[in-house]
Amino acid sequence: MRYLNLLLTVNYRTIALVSHASKILLRIILERVRVKTETEIADEQAGFRQGRRTRDQITNLRILMHKAREHQQPLYVLCGLQEGIRLYVP
For residue range 18-48, list pLDDT tens digits in order.
677 788 899 999 999 988 888 888 777 776 6
Contact predicate 75/88, CB 8 Å:
yes
Angle, vertex CA 79, rays to CA 77 and CA 82, nearest 5:
145
Q: What gap in Å lies between CA 86 and CA 23, rounded to an integer?
A: 43
Could you tell me if residue 48 is left (phi over 0), alpha (psi between -120 and 50 degrees) or otherwise beta?
Answer: left
**Across 12-16, 73-77, 86-90, least confident range:** 86-90
Residue 53: pLDDT over 90: no
**pTM for this predicted structure:** 0.41
